[in-house]
Structure 1
Amino acid sequence: MDDTSLLGTIKSLRRKLWEDLQPTPERLNSSLRILLATIIALILMLVWQMPSIYLGMYFIFLVGRDSPTVSLRSGLISLLTVTIAIACELGVVIISDSDPMIRVLSVAVVTFVAGVLVASTNFPVLGSTWGLIFCIVIGNWDSHAPADKLVKGSLWLIATLSVSVGCAVLVEYLFGDRDPAKKLEAQRKMRYQALEKMFTVYAQGGSPEERSAAVLPVSRFAIAGTNGMLELYNKIAERDLDAGTLPPGTRLRLTMLSQILDVSAAFGLQNTKEDSPELRRRCAIIATQCHELIPIAIPKIESHLQFMPENCVTLLDRVEAALHALLTMPTDASQLGNKELVAMPARKAPFFIPGAVGRIDTIAFGLKISLCATLCYIVYNAVDWPGISTAVTTVMVTGLSSSGAIKQRLFFRLLGSIIGGLILGLGAISLLFPHMDSVTSLVVLIGFVAFISAWTAGGPRFNYIGLQMAFSFYLVAFEDFSAPTELAPARDRFIGILVALLIMWFVFDQIWPVRTVTVMRQGLAGILKTVASFLRLIEPRRDQKDLLLQADALRDQVGKTVVALRSMNDAVDYEFGVDREQHVHTGEMILRTSLTAGTLFWNQFAVLYNEDDRDFLTEPDLIEMRRRLAEYIDGLADGVVNKTAPAMVPADAFLIPAMLNDPRYGEYSRNTIARFEELHSYAVMLSREV
């Protein structure tokens, strides 16, 4: 990457960071709840003289806030995970009589298993929490302190985390949202209204000033991303609340809406002066479609069936493509507000992702995490420098599955550590703590840091910086129950972070690199194979309940993978090299393909929950169509990974022509074939990408 490109990337990241800090819906409310929980927990821990305060304060940020129920469940699961980690630590120490070599081997084994759990389960936080706590407590035995003190310290850690989790859950029960469905509907409508207004201004040939004013709300909603809306969605799912008039497949629709906002904002910011009759015509159509989407009155989609992905070149083309994918999602008025179709509770999702445990990339990820953590553990023991033990914790909280995402998280970890540990932590130790003589002043200082960390953590792109700001500051500020008086601990902890970053860069980016677009291709292939599995699944069977249970698991996997691909697409910006722009383009293409695959899936899934459409499951011609499509989509999945694409076959190879015009099955058949043709077109384009 030349100097000009690097400078442009830095300016872009700085602009995005500033945008990420702007107010978004519910951000202030969430930050204040974290602040209140932090203050309550701090006072209780200081009064009760509880050790490991820094870890307890940090756990407040990790408790789920989708709903009070989610907070309680995630808090209890976290405490159970911590208890298991401490039990493993004590078991290793007792069985081995605290043999140093056994401790090293235990770190290698536990971090490997933790890495596999992160990569192969629907609850990755369990693996990372277990690995993090185990590495912290097993590392305490290197201090050669009395065994009684170390055992008590491990048990006290459970009490400390119980207090922090309890405070977070209490605040959520007192101040959590009561009617998330209405809030989600309102947020969704506001976004469509902003889009409608913006494209109406363009359709009417508005002045540059009018266009800029209309683009601003769209840009703000694009910056807000999906985080706030997905939190509301999760509240509806976990608490089994009334879904109002939300449509089927709400999670996938929210991802599509955010993609539309992103591309529309880019179009508006880059086209404040361009004007032509053709541009006005297309913008008028988009404005009309957005207006119709406000009350979820989805227009008929026959006029959109001839959309061709090959023509998707400009930003306006991409807006139309994203809208097209959304418009082809199924919406039956009788299914609006159907909780079974709107949102699926996490408790229905299987613990392990189907087929993920034995995959080569899962094992490889576990081995890489294990190698990094073990090397860090050996290094700080070999040089007899316990102050840099933060290297191991850095590995456990930073590890991701692709080089681009690793670079992103390492960069965020470094930036958060500089702000939280060096600037705020060292600044407080050297300038503030010597003059503080009361709990009140300490509460004010910690409250300030907690609030700005929570505000930063509420952003859609740079939220990880906020978490690391809090963690690094607490690590420095809460060395003991008294105010720290030395700067050496802060220096040592920061050096530990740098050691971990260096080792992880070497392992993930030099020895065993995996580019982000490669992981995205694997994720897309997983979606395609899930679609193929579902097409084979929906055949006549006696046990309808078992069919719905398996279908729900596949639906959950499709929704989560699409959201993950959107997140990884943002991480492609951190792939540096001569082919960076090609990777960015490929990431966008993979995301668009995944949205099209999602619409194909939901066009099939909606049939399951409609009693009037049960004959669609038993019609022999439709069963044969789905079987043939499943075989072909499996080929597309392999082609996405291998950068090949099978030749397109005509529609009559899947279904007899008479069925396409059948009064009962014609619309379903045409829509299915049309979505497949679009999917194949995208797959062909991906075969030409890097």
Structure 2
Amino acid sequence: MSTTGGTPRTGSHVLPHDERVSSWFPDFLRKELAPYPGRGAIVARMVIASTITAVLVVVFRIPGGAIAVLLAMILSREDIVSTTYSAGLRVLSFALVALFVPVGGRLFASVPIMHFLWQGISIFLCFYLLRALTNFAIASTLCLVVTNILTIWYLPGPAERNVKLTLWQVAAACVGALVTLAVELVYYAFNKHDEVITGVDSRLKQIEELMLAYAAGEPVPATVNRELSRYAVVGAGVLRRHIARTADEPIHRMRMSTLVSLTGRSIDFAAGMAASVPNCTSDERERMGRLALRIAEIRHGLAMPNQPQHQPAQWEPEPESTSTPLLSELEIIMSLLPSVLSSDTSLDPRLEILDTPKEESRILVRDAFANPEYLRYALAGTLAAMLCYLLYVGLNWPALSTSVTTCVLTGLTNIGSSRQRQVLRITGVIIGGFIFGMGAQIFVLPAIDNIGGFALLCAAVSAVAAWITTASSRLSYAGLQLALAFYLIVLNDPSQISLTAARDRVLGVLLGTFMMWLVFERFYRRPAMDVMIGQFIRNTRLLAELAETTLVETDANTIVRVRSVRDRISSGFQEVTAQSDAVPFETGPERAAHMAARDRIRRWQAAERTFYLLQSPLLQFRVFANPAQRNRPFYSIENQFRLTCGQVFRRMAEHIECQIGSGAKGATAPTAAEVHHDPVPQLVPLLDTLQAECKEPFSEREQALFRMARTIGGVVDRMEQETATELLFSRE
């Protein structure tokens, strides 16, 4: 019996897509709501910012205060620079809204047909910006404010009143952004730390704990394994962007970039060890114990930036491990890190990794006006929102206008994600609206006669919402909806407490959810399964490109290209995971086939992630191999191996791609004979043949790298065999 991606195999894979919700949902909630390092601090800052904003809204009777508090919860808290940048962009965009809506409303609100067209065009722009703006967070909050302001111009009224309420709505949004920025500034004033150093230290800590577990002969802790995998997939892009924003001196930038690059490589090696080395020899355990002490020294140096850096005692990497080269690679990196941190030591030229080129500053995506998909998406979303508009205007029921906001907030790029957000939104609305919101109006608010009691109520609900919001993307949206529903009832009109208004707002949310389901199901059908398979195929081709990349020493352009490809692969892995979470929300006759395909894609992606992690030593060998190594037979063997890997990945992508379409229908799925492609050499036999034909013995390092290549070959061979013999949509 063997395992692949955590799925048991006894000749054939057992597909878990028929599991009942009761069997996995409790464990899902436990994992999503479990604390993790830093979660408490983030939640505390979110609660403080939202509570202060809520108190300001009530004290100054600011209309539309729900938006202000919601913005206080969703503003970026990655670091002080990104928070300031995000807050500034939001305030600027809200200022533009303050000009756009009143002018448009004044010009078109007095004539019914023009008012209708103005509403439609405004909503169309909202949906279009959700796809066309490069910053989705800005687009979503901007559209949230716009749709709320549009309800002010529901019927022609006194211009002064409409403009006044519009400006109050914009002011409320700005208050939320500015309060959050102030809280973050105070937090960082009392918690001064370098974001790059903190990020590096947290990664080195996981490696140290991994080495300590190996040295003690204990199994790798699940938390360490999970954190290493997360860091390996996420990469070091956030740290590099922070360096680009804050480091002005070229020498300091070079040192920090090298530190981040070395740390990122060490994370890849450590994650590969955790995934492929279940146990080690006594000699290796001693080496790992010494390496853990070395990492502790490096972390101590990072924690004392103001003290003079001293060069640690000379420490040379030990001979190659007889089981894995990953340990030796880690030792090499840890022997180089002190020289990077030492201010009086020049860097090894091989380690002067170039800064990532600055990304072009763009407001709209590159194909904003060329991709017809954006237009179709905006038209479908506009249709759903305008159906809601016609219904609540025809019924003269303006309180149902929350339906339009619901359409904008649940309108993502495909059916599955939209349905996933709709389910999460309904769940959040039920908890935040019916239970917390209406429950507070009935049982709590009548007994509160001071601002302190109200602040405690807001803080308690905000804490629940913030804790859910800081979960993964599979659950976090429900926390935002919980907060929005609660504050729509309690704060949207501080001068009025009405159960009727609360009921109508909740009904509006349900109406918007229904209209989005109806329109996107019938007129814009684009299942999450299609998006997931398409992204998986792109990831497979990117892995082929990565394997086939020829590196010439430390060629600048090639290194930058490799880094770009690896970043795209990491982002692609996250996109496939996000879409796989959305597939179970889809319905229809082909759902069973889609769920079977989802199980296979998730299993195959686990194999691709293993390849992504384990190929790092071979990649480093190609980058830093000296001319003498390139003249040895092993280099040509490694070269042929990686080119064959690229071939295998391209054939797998073609094989999966040819099953899209008819295979998704289930009954018309092609047979294995119909889905045919030319045979591809098996990598393990290929390596064995090449080794047998090689007349010159391998060096100790080459033997270790060969064993690693053979491990990679086994992973790829198993995946290639599965993709060739298992039909993607087969339910067997």
Q: What is the match of residue 588 of structure 1? A: 602
CA deviation after TM superposition for structure 1 residue 414, in Å: 1.1
Q: In structure 2, what is the Cα distance between the partners aligned to 1:471 and 1:659? A: 71
- Aligned counterparts of 1:528 and 1:174: Cα–Cα separation in 2: 45
Equivalent in 470, 481, 493 of residue 480 of structure 1 = 493
Larger radius of gyration: 2
Aligned partner of 2:206: which letter?
R
Q: Does 1:563 align with 2:600?
A: no
Distance 1:344 1:62, change over 3 A: farther
Instruction: Sort the Cα spacing of 1:602 and 1:223 in 2 relative to 1 into closer, same or farther, 3 A.
Output: closer
2:202 aligned to which of 167, 174, 184? 184
- 1:174-573 map, 5 Å: 174-176=186-188, 178-179=193-194, 180-181=198-199, 184-185=202-203, 188-189=206-207, 192=210, 200=218, 218=222, 226=230, 234=238, 237-238=241-242, 242=256, 248=262, 250=264, 283-284=278-279, 295=292, 332=333, 348=359, 365-460=377-472, 461-482=474-495, 484-509=496-521, 511-531=523-543, 552-573=563-584
Query: Which of 114, 117, 121 is the equivalent residue of 1:106?
Result: 121
Show the counterpart of 1:319.
none
Deviation by residue 1:193-212 (Cα, 9 ceiling, x = unmatched) = 797699836xxxxxxxxxxx
Aligned counterparts of 2:552 and 2:680: Cα–Cα separation in 1: 29
Deviations 1:38-60 (A, max 9, x none): 23333344444433211011001
Aligned to 2:657: 641
Say what the alpha-carbon RMSD is for the aligned residues. Answer: 5.3
Bigger mean CA offset, 572-581 vs 249-258: 249-258
CA distance in 2, matches of 1:550, 1:397: 36
CA distance in 2 between partners of 1:228 and 1:480 (Å)? 47
Comparing 86-95 and 557-566, the one that deviates more:
86-95
Partner Cα separation in structure 1 for residue 402 and residue 508 of structure 2 = 5
Q: Which amino acid aligns with 1:591?
A: Q
> What is the CA deviation profile of residues 333-368 of structure 1, one whole-angstrom value per residue up to 9, with x for unaligned ones?
577698999998896477577879866766655454
Alignment match of 1:682 (pick from 711, 716, 719): 719
8 A Cα contact 1:369 1:399, kept in partner = yes
Aligned pair in 2 of structure 1 residues 509, 447: CA closer, same or farther (>3 Å)?
Answer: same
The partner residue of 1:36 within 48, 51, 55 is: 48
Partner SS state of residue 493, structure 2: coil
Q: Is the 8 A contact 2:417 2:582 kept in 1?
A: yes
CA distance, structure 2, for counterparts of residue 328 and residue 648 of structure 1: 31
Letter in 2 for 1:116: R
How far apart, in 2, do the equivalents of 1:150 and 1:345 lie?
Answer: 48
Equivalent residue, structure 1, for 2:63: 51
Q: Is the alpha carbon distance of 1:526 and 1:229 closer, same or farther for their aligned partners in structure 2, counting shifts above 3 Å?
A: closer
Give the letter for the 2:484 counterpart.
Answer: F
User: Per the alignment, in what secondary structure is the counterpart of residue 63 of structure 2?
Assistant: coil
Q: Deviations over 1:471-500 (max 9, x none)?
A: 111111013232x42111111111111112
Q: How high is the sequence identity, in percent, across the aligned residues?
A: 19
1:376-430 per-position Cα deviation (integer Å, ceiling 9, x unaligned):
3333333332212222222222233444433332221111111111111001111
Distance 1:496 1:251 in 2: 50
2-structure distance, mates of 1:259, 1:364: 47
Shift in CA distance, 78/5, structure 1 to aligned 2, threshold 3 Å:
same
Taking the aligned partners of 2:373 and 2:265, their CA distance within structure 1 comes to 27
Which stretch of structure 1 is more off in the superposition, 106-115 or 462-471?
106-115
- Give CA deviations for 1:119-148 in whole Å, capped at 9, x if unaligned: xx4x32233233333322233322433233
Alignment match of 2:72 (pick from 60, 63, 70): 60
CA contact (8 A) 2:124 2:381 kept: no
What are the Cα deviations for residues 32-77 of structure 1, in whole angstroms up to 9, with x where unaligned?
Answer: 1112222333334444443321101100111111111111112222
- Contact 1:523-1:565 at 8 Å conserved across structures: yes
Q: Could you give the per-residue CA deviations for residues 506-543 of structure 1, whole angstroms, max 9, x where no partner exists?
A: 3444554444343222112222344556678767799x
Q: CA deviation at 1:185?
A: 3.0
Please identify, of 593-602 and 38-47, the stretch whose mean Cα deviation from structure 2 is larger.
593-602
**CA offset digits 1:297-323 (Å, max 9, x no partner):** 999699679xxxxxxxxxxxxxxxxxx
Distance, in Å, in 1 between the alignment partners of 2:273 and 2:28 is 16
Question: In the aligned structure 2, how far is the partner of 1:19 from the partner of 1:533?
Answer: 35
8 Å Cα contact 2:269/2:613 also seen in 1:
no
1:21 alignment counterpart? 33
SS of 1:424's equivalent in the other structure is: helix
Which structure features the higher share of helix residues? 1
> CA contact under 8 A between 1:453 and 1:469: conserved in structure 2?
yes
Q: Secondary structure at the match of 1:200?
A: coil
> How many pairs are equivalent?
629
Q: Is this contact kept in 1: 2:50–2:72, CA < 8 A?
A: yes
The SS at the match of 2:171 is helix
Rate the CA distance shift 1:673–1:529 in 2: closer, same or farther, 3 A. farther
Give deviations 1:570-594, integer Å, cap 9, x for gaps. Answer: 4445456444752452242243144
Q: Does structure 2 conserve the Cα–Cα contact (< 8 Å) formed by 1:116 and 1:362?
A: yes
More moved, 521-530 vs 328-337: 328-337
TM-score of the superposed pair, with normalisation by structure 1: 0.73
CA distance in 1, matches of 2:425, 2:155: 26
SS in structure 1 of the partner of residue 118 of structure 2: helix
Moved more, 139-148 or 70-79: 139-148
> 1:73-88 counterparts in 2 under 5 A?
73-88=85-100
| Distance in 2, Cα, partners of 1:232 & 1:154 | 42
Note if contact 2:607-2:719 (Cα within 8 Å) is conserved in structure 1: yes
Contact 1:117 1:126 in 2 (8 A): no
| Structure 1 stretch displaced more, 511-520 or 70-79 | 511-520
Partners of 2:595 and 2:322 lie apart in 1 by: 35
Superposed, which structure 2 residues align to 1:133-152 within 5 Å? 133-152=145-164
Q: Is the 8 A contact 2:203 2:231 kept in 1?
A: no
